[in-house]
A and B are shown apart, each in its own frame.
Chain A
Amino acid sequence: MTTPPEPPAVQHTEPVPPGVRDGLRRAGRSLLRDVPALISVAVLVLLLLAALLAPLLAPHDPMRTYAEGLSARGAPVPPGGDFPLGTDPNGRDVLSRLLYGARVSLTIGVVANGLATLVGVTAGVVAGYFGGLVDTVISRITDMVMSFPILLFCVALISVTGPSQRNVVLVIALVYWTYLARVIRGMVLSLREREFVTATRTLGVGDVRIMVRHILPHLIPAIIVYATLGVASSILIESSLSFIGVGVPVPEASWGQMIDDGRRYYEVAPWLLFAPGLCLIATVLAFNLAGDWLRDLLDPTAPERR
């Protein structure tokens, strides 16, 4: 390429790399146009703040039984007054427990699910891309994990490791990665046959690069959908575990545990069910809507909405 027939006008200006600031500005603009997404992101930010600042925001000690938290007959106190969201049958402040519970539920939803996503995507891509023995081994492991009822599997693991928040996170991640690995593997099986993968391979690009740079972008929408749905599932699994007493150990608060408590008293103290229930629904919904928005934002083939 030393002497082209007609030397084209080559611009030697440095091509600008796709800037992060540019992306953020685009994100901001699309958020302003998408009201549900805007609300969802706001809810998630508030939730995060609530969880982080729980010690400052909580009006009471979430684990302490207050004498004035129970009526003369020993029933929980309805919302209002000293206890904005009422108290539970143990005379503990529901609002404070809710704030501290957000820490537990968010940690479990985000950390457990984040771990699961990381492991699941890696395993799925590797299995689908290489096939053969690697695929067989990974697929059999996912089969094995999935053939147990989730709850039973978690209970079995926790009864070995002992209940603690960290163990609950690990156990949920250990179970949940298999679902994502399955889906991702299937997608990669078809993606690796696409011509652009072949074309990239004929250019001598290494396997790791092909997987990360060329296949992963095609998986982003699925990963976001599964990860946001997974947040909800993880929080719910945690609540089930708490229900049978192998989740986050009492008296620490978690939303799942509070819902299970509330179920038993909903006729006399409906706030016990509604307060954590509404929080859970809002969180799950916000994650899903924000996930949809993020998916569209990251899709370069989607037309930019005006």
Chain B
Amino acid sequence: MDALLDVDDLVVRFATPTGDHPAVRGVSFSVAAGERLGIVGESGSGKSVTAQAVMRLLGPAATVASGAVRFEGRDVLGFPRDELRRWRGAQAAMVFQDPLSSLNPLVRIGRQVTETLREHLGMDRRAAAVRAAELLAEVGIPDAAARLRDYPMTFSGGMRQRVAVAIAVSCSPRLLIADEPTTALDVTVQAQVLDLMDRMTAELGTAVILISHDLGVVSTFCDRVLVMYGGRVVESGTTEEIVGAPRHPYTRALLGSIPAMTGPLPRRLPSIPGSPPQAGAHVPGCSFAPRCPLAEDLCHEVEPSMEYGVACHVAARAGERP
């Protein structure tokens, strides 16, 4: 199957005063057209950095040390400026975590929506304004045509994120990366925004990479899930596999820390002991080993490689996924 996006052994390093630290250490995955991939992991697992590397948004401190990002077979990391500009927005778009900061507070909503239309689809001012009103109406902004003249501050958080989704899909991109799109929103609004993304991308056949720390959000939305820890993919599989039969101890712990909706609440909410590895404090073995209940001597010495969809010595011994 030809992948829409192919990330191959991506390594991203951050230059810090104490030396170069890898934030992403050999991440590989691919996304097919129309597919929905979830990337889960806690803060510092490298999931956002991976997304930024794909969109070529890394700041000056970060560099892609090795690996490749291919979009429809084309080398994204090698795009010259103009090609990058034409690719972003038109073929690959992004929704950010906080719509409060991803929309420009001093630019009218209308301009922020029409800008992309005019840039990529070559619409004139009039056509773009009409289309922008349609888009806003489609994402459920009441009185859309009149609201084009308003500034973002007059919109609620959920409405702003709807606008951000509308902007992202305005040029019918083939790939949409959503980096924690619902984290800054109320729970009720979260569901609405996920529904919206579901509807808009299904219509267009847009592939989605949904980045989240929330397995619940990912499992309702995605076909496949990658679990990241310490800059590596530790487990990957279909949503049913990951949620139904997690194999990596970290994935299990992650699922185990979601309180059950039924039955009595435990006295203490379950959590994973210890804390995720600090950047630069790299241990020779598996980066989860210090917190892992199943860790053996081998785990502290040799970093496990990805076998049968899981990067774990203990889980790999059980062989292929049943």
Taking Cβ atoms with an 8 Å cutoff, the residues of A that contact B are 1-5, 8-18, 131, 193-206, 209, 213-214, 217-218, 300-301
Say yes or no: B138 contacts A204, CB within 8 Å. no
B104 to A, closest residue via Cβ: A196
A196–B101 CB distance below 8 A: yes
Inter-chain CA distance A8–B167, complex, in Å, is 17
Instruction: Give the chain A neighbours of B21 by CB distance below 8 A.
Output: none
- A-contacting residues, B216-237, CB 8 Å: none
- Chain B residue numbers with a CB within 8 Å of A300 are 106, 151, 153
9 residue pairs of the A-B complex, CB under 8 angstroms, read A1-B169, A11-B137, A12-B130, A13-B145, A17-B129, A195-B98, A195-B102, A202-B89, A301-B151
Give the residues in chain B near A204, CB-CB below 8 Å.
84-90, 116, 119-120
Q: Which residues of B contact A9 (CB under 8 A)?
A: 137
Q: A203-B119, A206-B85 are in contact. List 9 more A-B contacts (CB 8 A).
A: A8-B138, A15-B146, A195-B96, A196-B101, A199-B96, A199-B103, A202-B89, A204-B87, A209-B119
- Using C-beta atoms within 8 Å of the partner chain, give the interface range for chain B: 35 or more
B57: CB under 8 A from chain A? yes
Contacts of B110 in A (CB 8 A): 15
Closest residue of chain A to B130 (Cβ to Cβ) is A12
Cβ-defined contact, A1 with B203, below 8 A: yes
Question: B91-143: which residues lie under 8 A (CB-CB) from chain A?
Answer: 93-94, 96, 98, 101-108, 110-112, 115-116, 119-120, 125-126, 129-130, 132-135, 137-138, 140, 143
Which of A5, A13, A203, A300 has most B Cβ within 10 Å?
Answer: A203
User: What residues of A have a CB within 8 angstroms of the CB of B243 in the complex?
Assistant: none
A198-B57, A204-B86, A205-B115 as given contacts; A3 in contact with B203, CB under 8 Å? yes
Collect the chain A residues with CB atoms within 8 Å of residue B258's CB: none
A26 to B7, CA, bound (A): 53
Identify which of A193, A194, A195, A206 gathers the most chain B CB atoms within 10 Å of its CB.
A195
Which chain B positions have C-beta within 8 A of A200? 104, 112, 115
| Per-position 1/0 for B176-219, Cβ under 8 A of A | 00000000000000000000000110011000000000000000
Docked CA distance A197–B116 (Å): 14
Q: Cβ of B137 and Cβ of A214 under 8 Å apart?
A: no
Contact with A along B135-172 (1 / 0, CB 8 A): 10110100111101101010000000000100111001
Cα A218 to Cα B101 with chains together (Å): 14
A213: chain B residues within 8 A (beta carbon) = 107, 111, 115
**Complex: chain A residue closest to B116, CB-CB:** A203
User: Which of B98, B105, B106, B167 has the most CB atoms of chain A within a 10 A radius of its CB?
Assistant: B106
Which of A1, A213, A301 counts the most B-chain CB atoms under 10 A from its CB? A1
- Across the interface, which residues of B come within 8 angstroms of A205, CB to CB? 85, 89, 115-116, 119
Tally inter-chain residue pairs, CB-CB below 8 A: 122
Docked CA distance A302–B148 (Å): 19
A198–B97 alpha-carbon span in the complex (Å): 12
B133 contacts A199, C-beta separation under 8 Å: no
For the complex, is B55 an interface residue (Cβ under 8 Å from A)? yes
Given contacts A195-B96, A202-B93, contact A10 B137 (CB under 8 A): yes
Within the complex, the shortest CB–CB distance from A255 to chain B, in Å, comes to 37
Residues of chain B contacted by A13 (CB below 8 angstroms): 145
Asked if B133 and A10 make an inter-chain contact with CB atoms under 8 angstroms apart, the answer reads yes
Residues of the A chain whose Cβ atoms lie less than 8 Å from the Cβ of B137? 8-11
Q: Closest Cβ of chain A: how far from B208's Cβ, in Å?
A: 15
State the Cβ distance, B242 to closest chain A Cβ, in Å: 28
Write the nearest CB–CB distance from A264 to chain B, whole angstroms.
50
With A1-B200, A15-B148 as known contacts, state yes or no: A199 contacts B94, CB within 8 Å: yes
Q: In the complex, A206→B116 CA distance in Å?
A: 10
CA distance A198 to B102 in the complex (A): 8
**Contact, CB under 8 Å: B153 / A301:** yes
Give Cα distance in the complex from A202 to B57, angstroms. 8
